[in-house]
Amino acid sequence: MGKVLEAIDTKLAAWLESQPVFFTATAPLADDGLVNCSPKGGIGTFVVLGPREVAYLDLTGSGIETVAHLRENGRIVVMFCAFEGRPTVVRLHGRGTVLLPDEERFAALRPRFADHPGIRAIVTVDLVRIGDSCGYAVPLMDLVAERDVLDLSSTKKGEAGLADYRARKNAISLDGLAGLPTP
């Protein structure tokens, strides 16, 4: 049976931070807007900042839905599934904030994460609900390896190439919402 937790304790924090993949879900305010669910991950891309605050690295990708939705309304849920060990699903509901590299809090939080090329933002989430559930239907799986394709792609593009890519692919969401600011 699922339960609502008051806060993230040290045991849960360690479990969350050790997961190789998590998922974010957001939606625009418009009734006809597209709900978005994105896989995120890599060890060192998610951190617990406090009992009711978490953050993750937002790496350059082909879409900008999560960022655009957060900039519009802030609503987000971050979901973790146990693919090994005890079956567990944890959902972190909250209000997300997008921190860009030129912001003071971004600079303060950046050392908490692993190094990756192509970092476009840090997303922080102030939690309004922390819930776990059984996860009985989540399959047991083995992690063979983390993929390095995104890091290799970002490295190959270089800073100028990443800036151009973001200007073309990350300025506007599928629903026409503002994504990343363009120079």
Q: What is the pLDDT of residue 32?
A: 96
With contact defined as beta carbons under 8 Å apart, do 123 and 96 qualify? yes
- Domain presence at residue 115: yes
The count of domains in the chain is: 1
Note whether residue 174 is domain-resident.
Answer: no
Per-residue pLDDT, 71: 98
Write down the pLDDT at residue 180: 94
Cβ atoms of 87 and 138 closer than 8 Å: yes
First-to-final CA distance of the chain: 49
Q: Note whether residue 179 is domain-resident.
A: no
- Residue 109: inside a domain: yes
pLDDT of residue 2: 85
Tokens 């957060």 sit at which residue? 70
Torsion of CA 101, 104, 107, 109, to 10 degrees: -110
Q: What is the CATH number of the domain that holds 160?
A: 2.30.110.10
Is 82 a domain residue? yes
Q: Is residue 106 part of a domain?
A: yes
pLDDT value of residue 154: 96
The radius of gyration computed from the CA coordinates of the chain, to the nearest angstrom, equals 16
pLDDT given at position 1:
61
Low-confidence ranges of the chain (pLDDT < 50): none
Percent of the chain with pLDDT strictly greater than 70: 99
The whole-number pLDDT of residue 84 equals: 95
Residues 6+ apart with CB under 8 A from 31: none
Closest CA to 64 of 36, 42, 92: 36
Residue 183 within a domain? no
Per residue in 36-47, pLDDT tens? 999 998 889 999
Note the pLDDT of residue 54: 98
The domain of 86 spans: 3-169
In a domain, 177, yes or no: no
